[in-house]
């Protein structure tokens, strides 16, 4: 047995939150020599993980989970217990006024307090407003003074999480030098990507800046698509030709923005300087507007063609994944099916219609997500159909 593995076996890691980030980390660590306790307050999540019955589509995750459970390297519980390393990976949300809601983070911290011991390392991976880690460190150290606390936001691509957890670079910021060093050493034990250390507030801001950048660029593509429609030019041709410029890379437009991060994280940056985040807030507004614009365009087509049945191709929040979290495509379908018969088509989601059966019945075909399965549909299957492609999925 290697020295690293022997060292890791002495360490117990408690991960609070067994969602899209927490569960893959738990499985990865449990099969890398750590003794892991995965904690979630949701009974159904706990039962599903214990039974290795996953709804995730992450490559290799189920096999890794089965291995971790079989080898007794991973336990699952609803309650926290002592560990040398604690990782907080719970969801963070927005309230009705688009203000950050980190109630789950605070609940996780409160549950952790009774189990703290001198020398423990607490790591926060949940997305948080700037300054959160310092505040949490003060609260925890009021209970146990000798603690290391650091922030290390995840950078993962859904569907390829396990690979990216290991191979992507990680930014780590501790509340002091000791915390930063201990956190960096821990991540180096299973991450092959570059480990970069920074001030904790900078680290918090980096995560938010990354997703705000992506949101702004998507907003530009979405706004450009609405302009192109107004002046009657092909948005796909416009973007293709503009991207011939060596310093231009316009993204593909879609029906809005969804998922766990991009639609939420920019709002976490706004409280740091509400008067200076005009562009960030405007990008959010444009991407929300695009969803409503798509709905209205479909309504106009239904009315103009007296249609009775439409097919919505794609319901997930991005192509080629099985995640429909905050999906604008799903919002479009759910809104329209209150007004007309909607055939939901998505090869990545259960209980949806087979593609070619839906194409036979539908008078209007609405492409909302550019899944690979929608590429190269034979022309005769689309003959005499009204085509509305909002994602470039039929080209």
For residue 244, indicate whether it is catalytic: no
- Phi-psi region for residue 326, left (φ > 0), alpha (ψ -120 to 50) or beta? left
For residue 261, indicate whether it is catalytic: yes
- Does residue 86 contact residue 38 with C-beta atoms inside 8 Å? no
What is the spatial order of strands in the sheet that 364-367 belongs to?
341-345, 309-313, 364-367, 386-389
Quick one: tokens of 219? 């907003």
Contacting residues for 285 by C-beta, under 8 A, at least 6 apart? none
261, 290, 318, 367: which one is catalytic?
Answer: 261
14, 152, 207, 318: which one is catalytic?
Answer: 207
What distances in angstroms separate CA 173 from CA 57, 165, 266, 286, one per listed residue?
31, 17, 20, 33
Number of H helices, E strands in the chain: 15, 14
- Does residue 198 contact residue 173 with C-beta atoms inside 8 Å? yes
What distances in angstroms separate CA 151 from CA 66, 113, 119, 129, 137, one per listed residue?
29, 18, 17, 11, 10
Which residue numbers are catalytic? 207, 261
């Amino acid at each position: 047995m290697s020295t690293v593995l022997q060292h890791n076996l002495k360490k117990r890691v408690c991960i609070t939150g067994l969602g899209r980030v927490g569960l893959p980390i738990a499985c990865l660590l449990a099969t890398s020599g750590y003794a892991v306790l995965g904690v979630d307050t949701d009974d159904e999540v706990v039962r599903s993980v214990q039974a290795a019955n996953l709804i995730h589509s992450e490559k290799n995750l189920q096999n890794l989970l089965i291995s971790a459970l079989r080898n007794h390297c991973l336990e699952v519980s609803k309650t926290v217990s002592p560990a040398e390393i604690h990782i907080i990976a719970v969801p963070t949300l927005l309230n009705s006024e688009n203000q950050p809601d980190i109630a789950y983070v605070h609940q996780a911290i409160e549950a952790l307090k009774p189990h703290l011991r001198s020398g423990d390392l607490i790591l926060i991976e949940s997305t948080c407003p700037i300054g959160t880690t310092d505040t949490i460190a003060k609260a925890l150290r009021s209970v146990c003074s000798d603690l290391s606390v650091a922030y290390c936001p995840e950078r993962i691509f859904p569907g390829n999480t396990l690979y990216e957890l290991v191979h992507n670079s990680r930014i780590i910021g501790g509340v002091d030098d000791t915390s930063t060093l201990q956190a960096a050493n821990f991540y180096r034990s299973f991450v092959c990507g570059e480990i970069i250390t920074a001030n904790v507030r900078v680290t918090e801001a980096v995560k938010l800046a990354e997703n705000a950048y992506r949101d702004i660029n998507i907003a530009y593509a979405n706004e450009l698509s609405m302009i192109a429609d107004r002046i009657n030019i092909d948005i796909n041709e416009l973007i293709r030709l503009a991207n011939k410029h060596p310093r231009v890379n316009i993204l593909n437009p879609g029906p809005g923005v969804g998922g766990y991060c991009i639609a939420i994280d920019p709002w976490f940056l706004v409280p740091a300087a509400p008067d200076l985040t005009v562009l960030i807030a405007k990008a959010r507004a444009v991407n929300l507007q695009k969803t409503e614009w798509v709905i209205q365009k479909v309504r106009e087509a239904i009315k103009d063609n007296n249609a009775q049945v439409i097919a919505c191709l794609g319901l997930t929040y991005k192509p080629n994944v099985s995640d429909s979290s905050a999906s604008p495509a799903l919002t479009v379908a759910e809104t329209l099916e209150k007004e007309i018969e909607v055939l939901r088509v998505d090869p990545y989601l259960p209980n949806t219609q087979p593609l070619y059966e839906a194409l036979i019945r539908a008078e209007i075909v609405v492409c909302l997500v550019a899944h690979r399965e929608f590429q190269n549909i034979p022309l005769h299957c689309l003959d005499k159909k009204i085509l509305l492609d909002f994602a470039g999925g039929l080209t």
